[in-house]
Amino acid sequence: MTFENTKSPLVRAMTRDGTARIICADTTRIIDKACEICSPSNTAAAALGRVMTVTSIMGTMLKNSTDTVTVRFNGDGPCGEIISTADYNGDVRGYIQNPEADVPRKPNGKLDVGALIGQGSMSVVKDIGMKEPYVGISPIITGEIGDDLTQYLMTSEQTPSVVAVGVRVINDKDELHRTICSAGGGYILQLMPGASEDTIARIEKNVTSLSSISMMIENGRTPIEIIGMVLEGIEYDLFDTIDVYYKCSCTKERFRSGLRALGLNDMVNIEKNEKGDLETVCHFCGTKYTFTHAEMNEIIDELKDHYRKKLKDYRSRRKNDDKGSDGKEGKEENDT
């Protein structure tokens, strides 16, 4: 399911000499959709929004249209686990385990995302059509997301990078009664082999002179303008501008498969104890899927048939094994 009202601009560019590339996105609408779905605290909204932003950008770095990337932060902070998945187009979804969790702000008044996430590990899983997905794991450095991803890209993918990501939120207690994302986005700049010292120095100077990415977006700066400021003084070409969305891949059939995976005993207990229809909810998009008792019994019947077949196959194999053993023993007796 693609949420069309979350259409967000993402821009890709590269220096003319091919030694640096940058991808920048304004993900304000995507983050606000996540806030609408899970009603997070201010700090949780910032944490989830940052992870979703970098995941969306990393999605557009994939090579094949069927590839996906999942970024997971598993820290010991009160928010629990944060998971975000993006496809080749940069369409993204996200989930935070404890959206209501919050922590005091930093002394400077900024949201303390690092304290909310805590210490632990982050992982990047790329499903690129191989037998097994690529999995990279890195320790959480600060929990501020940008620093952690920069470290991951350097250590796990050996790519010097600059990652800037930020989210600004406000509380709408009067109308929507939830946290609203007023600005959010980020960019990932990566240096390629052969980048000159002059290019590196210029980029460092430009980056350090900029305001926060969320402030620039809140002040109306577009991804194209932000790329221009990051690469000021360096010749570059804009590749393309694409629209990215909040997109969830859930379906009722997938939830049905999940119920089936619970096994026969659990499904029998659920059907027996559920007074009305069984309602399941997608954590990523909030979509509800209802299963009637007739549908639950259909799953139970399928599981019974499955176990009967397994038992029949098992007995058949045992019977064949016993026959083989008897034949071998008889041959040994004849030989003696």
* Percentage of the chain modeled with pLDDT above 70: 94
Place of tokens 């600005």: 183
Q: Look up residue 260 and give its DSSP letter.
A: H
d(CA 243, CA 92) in angstroms, rounded, equals: 11
Mean pLDDT of 151-168: 94
Confidence of residue 326 (pLDDT cuts 50, 70, 90): low
Confidence of residue 316 (pLDDT cuts 50, 70, 90): confident
Cβ neighbours of residue 297 under 8 Å, at least 6 residues apart?
271
For 171-212, how does the pLDDT look when each residue is reduced to its tens digit (9 = 90+)? Answer: 865 666 789 999 999 999 999 989 999 999 999 999 999 999
Q: Looking at beta carbons, which pairs linking 27-30 to residues 24 or more positions away fall under 8 Å?
A: 27/52, 27/53, 27/56, 27/92, 27/184, 27/185, 27/186, 27/244, 28/181, 28/182, 28/183, 28/184, 28/185, 28/217, 29/5, 29/246, 30/6, 30/56, 30/92, 30/184, 30/244, 30/245, 30/246
Place of tokens 């176990």: 307
The structural domains of the chain, ordered by start, are 2-247 (3.55.30.10), 252-326 (3.90.1280.10)
pLDDT at 328 exceeding the cut of 80: no
For 256-271, how does the pLDDT look when each residue is reduced to its tens digit (9 = 90+)? Answer: 999 999 999 999 999 9
Contact 85, 93 (CB under 8 A): yes
- The model carries a pTM of 0.87
Which region among 158-162, 236-240, 296-300, 329-333 has the lowest average model confidence (pLDDT)? 329-333
For 50-102, how does the pLDDT look when each residue is reduced to its tens digit (9 = 90+)? Answer: 999 999 999 999 999 999 999 999 999 999 999 999 999 999 999 999 999 99
> Which residues are registered as beta bridge partners of 72?
83, 123
pLDDT of residue 89: 96
Token reading at 246: 């909040």
Confidence of residue 304 (pLDDT cuts 50, 70, 90): very high
Mean pLDDT of 297-320: 88
Token reading at 308: 């009967």
d(CA 140, CA 21) in angstroms, rounded, equals: 25
pLDDT at 330 exceeding the cut of 70: no
pLDDT of residue 336: 43
Closest by CA position to 148, among listed 123, 169, 172: 123
Q: Which helix (H) or strand (E) holds 191?
A: strand 178-191
